[in-house]
Amino acid sequence: MTDRYAVFGNPITHSKSPRIHAEFARQTGQDLSYEAILAPLDGFPAAVAAFRATGGRGANVTVPFKEQAFELASRRTERAEAAGAVNTLKFEGQEILGDNTDGAGLVADLTRNLGLDLAGRRILLLGAGGAARGVILPLLGAMPASLFIANRTADKALDLARRLAAAGPVEGGGFDALPGRQFDLVINATAASLAGELPPLPNDVFAPGALAYDMMYGQDTPFLAFARARGARVADGLGMLVEQAAEAFYLWRGVRPETAPVIALLRGA
């Protein structure tokens, strides 16, 4: 019997996840189906329960349900606990395992696809919301020299840094703490790109040879244009999208798919 998986979100029609997982299944010879499910804003737990009742084995979760998925999980991984959000559910009998594969996906894209060794690097993470929370623990696990979280509301960044201080060299503050500092990797995890805006960055924030990474994908954002004009290498978040999906696929199936051909396929499309 074909195993069923899905992605839950609202909106969801734009999701590339069904195509990504169809490619993974074809590549690895796994017998599964994968669909996109529009969950009502006030009906996420019920939608998941209905999916499980009809044989669902696992699910991805996207905006705006990641915090609700965290609450729904009866058991959570360490990285999900650190993120306070869940983007992957695995149904194991009566138990629901919650994981967050975003950070692993980001680190895999940076290191494998973009060839960046994170050890000893100075990293700047822009934003302190859910997108940022999901990647801090895996980034610190890569042994950077430092990780600074910058947010418009400085207290939010400071609180996040304090909460994860035991995991590595992490600080937090407002954007006003950035002048005079340079970074080897600058990651945009803010919602600014969605609005076509640029976070308030100093002109000299990029160290020589720095990489600017925007978690958003599919368009040349103001952040990437700003970085490129200042000599930085740039990358969008398409690779992260595919890599976090591969991490979820591995959690469900115990098989790790090849991501490079799928990234190339989506870039071509």
What token pair was written down for 106? Answer: 């980001």
Q: Is 217 annotated as a binding residue?
A: yes
Q: Is 17 annotated as a binding residue?
A: yes
The structure tokens 């509301």 sit at 153
Nearest to 194 by CA among 221, 170, 213, 171: 221
Q: Is 74 annotated as a binding residue?
A: no
Q: Is 150 annotated as a binding residue?
A: no
The structure tokens 């839950």 sit at 8
Q: Count Cβ atoms within 10 A of the Cβ of residue 180 and give its class: 0-12 exposed, 13-18 middle, 19 or more buried.
A: exposed
Residue 103 C-alpha from the chain's centroid? 5
Asked if 7 contacts 59 with a C-beta cutoff of 8 angstroms, the reply is: yes
* Cα separation, 159 vs 173, whole angstroms: 9
Q: Is 237 annotated as a binding residue?
A: yes
Q: Between 17-28 and 260-268, two packed helices, what is the crossing angle to 10 degrees?
A: 140
Q: Is 141 annotated as a binding residue?
A: no
Told to judge if 90 belongs to the known catalytic residues of this protein, a careful annotator would answer: no
The structure tokens 């009866």 sit at 74
Q: Is 129 annotated as a binding residue?
A: yes
Q: Is 87 annotated as a binding residue?
A: yes
Q: Is 102 annotated as a binding residue?
A: yes
Q: Is 16 annotated as a binding residue?
A: yes
* Cα separation, 77 vs 20, whole angstroms: 24
Q: Is 119 annotated as a binding residue?
A: no
Set 21, 25, 48, 66: catalytic member: 66
* Known binding positions for shikimate: 15-17, 62, 87, 102, 217, 244
* Known binding positions: 15-17, 62, 78, 87, 102, 127-131, 151-156, 215, 217, 237, 244
- Catalytic residue annotation: 66
* Known binding positions for NADP(+): 78, 127-131, 151-156, 215, 237
